[in-house]
Amino acid sequence: MYESPWILIIVAVVLFCVIAIFRNAKPEKARWWQLLIPLIVLGAAFAVDYAVKTDNEKITTRIITAKEAVIARDTQTIINMIDDKYLDQARMDKEIISGKCRDILRRPFATKIKINSSFITINGGNATCEINVTVHFDQASDYSEYGGMAIVSAKIGFVRRGSDWFISSVVIEKINNSEPPKW
């Protein structure tokens, strides 16, 4: 699986060293185009990195998009990322969670959400992201009276539909290092 350009960058450096040694050992066989080979491999490294989006990158992009949508109070973007078969720990389906999302985000909610850590595990067409975030509540938020911010640990389930990943479940594990309320 291709995750970063580093492997091809290392190959390009090794190729450059091998070609440089070859050109030193046999100067009569040195050609100007030989130095282009590592440059082509280096260019390919960045081209492949730009062109190929791994499942891990797609899920990370979904998480960042959801974070930005919460701050912008863009409920439609969030709802579009939820799988039609969504079901969470409180037995809420897509319709119920969409209504809750609209209700919470109709008023100011968060000014900043910082992702402290995230760990993505992919297993075929399913994935899980264990995530820890700090939510800085808006002053006008109903939640700001609880200290202005909260640290939330959650497990987000994803399911692949075609080439896209959709949120299939969310389990809130801890809020401020305490067990969440029983939903």
- Helix, coil or strand: residue 104: helix
| Sheet of strand 126-137: strand arrangement | 110-123, 126-137, 149-161, 164-175
- Helix, coil or strand: residue 80: helix
Class of domain 55-175: alpha beta
d(C-alpha 125, C-alpha 175), whole Å: 29
Q: pTM (2 decimals)?
A: 0.77
| pLDDT at residue number 89 | 75
Q: Which residues contact 24 (CB under 8 A, 6 or more apart)?
A: none
d(C-alpha 19, C-alpha 51), whole Å: 28
Task: Tokens for 145, please give them.
Answer: 């009276």
Q: What is the DSSP string of 14-74?
A: HHHHHHHHHHHH-GGG--GGGGHHHHHHHHHHHHHHHH---HHHHHHHHHHHHHHHHHHT-
d(C-alpha 100, C-alpha 83), whole Å: 16
Task: Give pLDDT tens digits along the chain (183 positions).
Answer: 456 778 888 988 999 999 999 989 998 988 888 889 999 998 988 888 787 788 999 999 999 999 999 999 999 999 999 999 998 877 888 999 999 999 999 999 999 999 999 999 999 999 999 999 999 999 888 887 777 899 999 999 999 999 899 999 999 999 888 877 665
